[in-house]
Structure 1
Amino acid sequence: MKKYLQGAAVAAISVAIATPSMALEWNVSVWGKRRAFTEHIEKLAELVSEKTGGDFTMNVSYEGLSKNTENLDGIQIGAFEMAQICAGYHEDKNPTLTVLELPFLGVRNLEEEVAVSDALYAHPAVKKDLERWNAMLLMSSPMPQYNLVGTGEPRDTLEEFSGMRVRATGGMGEAFKAVGAVPTSVPSNEAYNAMESHVVDTVAFAQHAHLSFRTIDQGTWWTENLNPGTVNCPVVVNIDAYNSLTPEQKEALDSSVPEAIQYYIDNYQSEVLTQWDKILTEKNVTKVQYSDEEIAKFEAATQGVADEWIKARSAEGIPAQELYDLVKAKLKELHGM
């Protein structure tokens, strides 16, 4: 088993070169519990082990290695070899990735989320950004567009969002603020209590999170097609750990990524979305469908969030306009425009 040693003052990484007779185990840092959000990591571990006859395995640890907000730090010092991160948890650590968390980009499904993520991850500025943490982007964790579970009367026009208290973070929080709502960054595991005690009127999550954190149990309506944005949560690997792999191990890892991603998408659609539709029906939750005109009003009202992101990131020396244009161009390609 390969170990990366962490010093108190110096991030010293000791790399052990694996030979065909040595079994290699990578530690993988994730959080929460095993769920739809982590199924591609579990599948990746399964595939790599199969392809190497058990000579290369992964120990997927749920909160046993690091806090979710410190996974990049752990990757940097070699405390573990692989980790899942979310850009919005630490925007200052990975500013280039946050372009994918801007509101109303127009991503329609998980396949498109994978495609735009892959396009962005390949950009030299993004690679350089992550290299500061000795991290290499391996694959995305495609998240559906967040939507709102709300209490009280459904809000089906932009004007009705004025004064609405919403649990939303990052670019989505800024977007709701732009339309007159009051965003708050209540931790996800406190969202249910915040709804129950009327601290917030609505919560923005993907479907699996509304199920996991039980916010749907408080809700009376659901914004089926508002699609204000999502979070970007890639899986990264320690560069030194990756470079120390044998050619056979690299092939096993790299070739398993597409299948792991497809497994994630299939599982999300067959398990989570099917369960979600069933629960909405059982709980008699109203599905709010916004007209094209209302969506256009939301998009126009929140465009300033992207403009401000471009201005702020450009001031940091990041080719922000180029990254934003890359994402929009990829989406136009995917939409056949």
Structure 2
Amino acid sequence: MRQETGYLRRFAVAAISTASIIVGTTLAGAAELKIAHFMPSTHPMDKGVMTPLAEQLSAATNGELTIRIYPAGELGKGPVQQYKRVVTGVADIVFGIPEYTPKQFSKTAMVHLPGLFPGGEAATNALWDNIGLIEDEYSQTKLLGLWANNPSVLITRDKAVRSVADMQGMKIRTPNPVMAELVKAWGGIPVSMPTTDTYNAMNTGVIDAVMIGPSGIRSYKLNETAKYVTTNIPSALDSFYLLMNKSSWENLSDEHKAALDGLVGRHLSLRGAQAFYEAGKSGLDLAKETGVELIEIDADADSEFRSQMRGALNAFIDKIGKEKNIDAHALVDALAGN
């Protein structure tokens, strides 16, 4: 009996040791990257960009390098802190919005200028065609993706906007500094706040309107807070990034770096722009289906908006040029393909 017990004990120890070696080998050969974002997991950027990237990377590396997505602020609340999270390594990869840290990305902001691009795909290609002019803004990270959405629409709580006169005194959430300057030029009062706060702010009357890409209608349920959407005011695009912590990148094997590099960059960015286009159309469809009136301004109103915003646009470009000690007008011309 004692001999049998000793045999069983030696067998158990050997089995545990063997299992430890197997597990240790598996862990040593595999790595997991953490992606942090602040939207729900149903958001178009999760479903259209991050989840496909995770699936493709796992397939490309036979499961040796995987991505785990942490949505809805699971790695830290507040979208404003996304850039800090990736630089400090709280997350290996983050999705974020450059305009939440505007001083860091003031050159990237030139792509937002109203009238430069008809949509997100053209703006995204312009960013990558001229990436050498702005890449220093991303030098503390590994740039994986950079793309743009559709031009912003104006979602109003209880007042229709068909002309510049209709905007006088309205408190309007703006997506970026250039749109804030334009809203001032049009007689409105710009308000800066994260997209995640817009529903409550509209619902309680803290703001009268929201300027946002049309995808935000569905993502943030803004159709529940509004009576009108003006769809074609000359407005800015917004931009978005997918950034990786430098140390997380450098710690990857050469094989894994090559696999990840093959999946990101312009290709991934255009997928992001397309996802926003489709989500924008879906957002406008939802607004219409739920009784929100869609408004298109006429040619005379469009001309008036453009005339009143011209001075503010030039002043904004001059301001960025002075801050960055660059020829900002030349950067705008390059982005526009002039």
TM category, shorter: 0.7 to 0.9
Letter in 2 for 1:64: E
Query: Any conservation in 2 of the 1:172–1:230 contact (CA below 8 Å)?
Result: no
Within 5 Å, give how 1:8-19 maps onto structure 2.
none
Query: Any conservation in 2 of the 1:43–1:260 contact (CA below 8 Å)?
Result: no
Letter in 2 for 1:40: V
Which sections of structure 2, spanning at least 5 residues, go unmatched? 1-25
* Inter-CA distance 328–263: structure 2 relative to 1 (3 Å threshold): closer
Spell out, residue by residue over 1:150-196, the C-alpha distance to the aligned partner (whole angstroms, 9 max, x if none). Answer: 13342212232222221224221221111111122244333233333
Q: Which residue does 1:129 correspond to in 2?
A: 137
Query: Any conservation in 1 of the 2:121–2:274 contact (CA below 8 Å)?
Result: no
Query: Any conservation in 2 of the 1:127–1:136 contact (CA below 8 Å)?
Result: no
How many angstroms does 1:120 deviate by?
4.0
Letter in 2 for 1:144: N
Q: SS of the residue aligned with 2:94?
A: strand
Q: Which residue does 1:12 correspond to in 2?
A: none
Q: Which residue does 2:160 correspond to in 1?
A: 154
Query: Any conservation in 1 of the 2:173–2:190 contact (CA below 8 Å)?
Result: yes
- Count of residues paired in the alignment: 306
* Inter-CA distance 28–285: structure 2 relative to 1 (3 Å threshold): same
Which sections of structure 1, spanning at least 5 residues, go unmatched? 1-18, 333-337
Letter in 1 for 2:206: V
Q: SS of the residue aligned with 1:209?
A: helix
For residue 84 of structure 1, the aligned residue among 92, 95, 102 is: 95
Query: Any conservation in 2 of the 1:186–1:194 contact (CA below 8 Å)?
Result: no
The structure whose Rg is larger is 2
Cα distance in 2 between the residues matched to 1:275 and 1:309 = 32
Q: TM-score, normalised by structure 2?
A: 0.80
Letter in 2 for 1:70: Q
Query: Any conservation in 2 of the 1:105–1:328 contact (CA below 8 Å)?
Result: no
Q: Which residue does 1:7 correspond to in 2?
A: none
Query: Any conservation in 2 of the 1:110–1:265 contact (CA below 8 Å)?
Result: yes
Residue 46 (1) aligns with residue 55 (2): yes
Cα distance in 2 between the residues matched to 1:21 and 1:187 = 40
Q: SS of the residue aligned with 1:193?
A: helix
Q: SS of the residue aligned with 2:239?
A: coil
Q: SS of the residue aligned with 2:162?
A: coil
How many angstroms does 1:59 deviate by?
1.8
Within 5 Å, give how 1:18-167 maps onto structure 2.
22-34=29-41, 35-38=43-46, 39-62=48-71, 63-66=73-76, 67-102=78-113, 104-123=114-133, 126-131=134-139, 134-167=140-173
Query: Any conservation in 1 of the 2:182–2:313 contact (CA below 8 Å)?
Result: no
For residue 200 of structure 2, the aligned residue among 173, 182, 193 is: 193
How many angstroms does 1:227 deviate by?
4.4
Cα distance in 1 between the residues matched to 2:271 and 2:320 = 34
Per residue, is there more helix in 1 or in 2? 2
Residue 304 (1) aligns with residue 311 (2): yes
Q: SS of the residue aligned with 2:59?
A: helix
* Inter-CA distance 242–227: structure 2 relative to 1 (3 Å threshold): farther
Percent of pairs identical after alignment?
A: 18
Q: Which residue does 2:185 correspond to in 1?
A: 178
For residue 281 of structure 1, the aligned residue among 285, 288, 296 is: 288
Cα distance in 2 between the residues matched to 1:200 and 1:74 = 29
Residue 250 (1) aligns with residue 261 (2): no
Within 5 Å, give how 1:194-273 maps onto structure 2.
194-257=201-264, 260-270=268-278, 272-273=279-280
Q: Which residue does 2:9 correspond to in 1?
A: none
* Inter-CA distance 283–101: structure 2 relative to 1 (3 Å threshold): same
* Inter-CA distance 82–219: structure 2 relative to 1 (3 Å threshold): same
Cα distance in 1 between the residues matched to 2:153 and 2:284 = 14
Aligned-residue Cα RMSD (Å) equals 2.6
Cα distance in 1 between the residues matched to 2:324 and 2:285 = 48
Cα distance in 2 between the residues matched to 1:196 and 1:20 = 49
Query: Any conservation in 2 of the 1:37–1:141 contact (CA below 8 Å)?
Result: no
How many angstroms does 1:54 deviate by?
0.6
